[in-house]
Amino acid sequence: MVNFDELLTLDGVAAAGEFTSDGKIIEYRSNTDIAKEIAEVSAQFCATVSMLFNTLAGAFTRFTKTPWVPQKVWSYSGGDWTVIIGGGGNTWVFVETAKADFNQLFKVLAYS
């Protein structure tokens, strides 16, 4: 289980949340004024992309005989922000890209 209070103390983290596999927000916390509506849209986006990656990883595992499942962490970065998904595929963090320690974030999210 991911500790949101711990995530919010990491460099660059502005918000963290948890979502269901169908994109519903379970919980989120923020160091900034991220509205609940933004968290809800983020949960839908993250769940959709996670589902796509799970499908691709399963197929890639079968065809290449290399282990790509279970999913651990993925990220998308654009503009000044990055979203990182981990925690078993249902936890997200928004980070200011320039301030983030990605090694630390990936480690925390991959093994939580």
Q: Which CATH number goes with the domain that contains 70?
A: 3.30.450.30
Tell me which residue has tokens 């796509």. 52
Mean residue pLDDT across the chain: 93
Distance between CA atoms of 86 and 111, rounded to whole angstroms?
Answer: 8
Q: Is the pLDDT of residue 88 over 90?
A: no
Look at residue 48 and give its three-state secondary structure: helix
Render pLDDT for 22-64 as a digit per residue (tens, 0 to 9). 999 999 999 988 888 999 999 999 999 999 999 999 999 999 9
What's the confidence (pLDDT) of residue 46?
Answer: 94
Tell me which residue has tokens 């928004």. 94
What's the confidence (pLDDT) of residue 1?
Answer: 65
Range of the domain at 104: 4-110
Q: Is the pLDDT of residue 87 over 90?
A: no
User: Which has more pLDDT, 89 or 100?
Assistant: 100
Which residues make beta-bridge pairs with 95? 13, 82
Long-range pairs of 45-50 with CB within 8 A, sequence gap ≥ 24: 45/83, 46/19, 46/83, 46/85, 46/92, 47/19, 47/20, 47/21, 47/22, 47/23, 47/90, 48/23, 49/74, 49/76, 49/85, 50/21, 50/74, 50/85, 50/89, 50/90
Predicted confidence band at 9 (pLDDT cuts at 50, 70, 90)? very high
Quote the number of domains for the chain.
Answer: 1
What's the confidence (pLDDT) of residue 89?
Answer: 81
What's the confidence (pLDDT) of residue 107?
Answer: 92
Q: Is the pLDDT of residue 2 over 90?
A: no
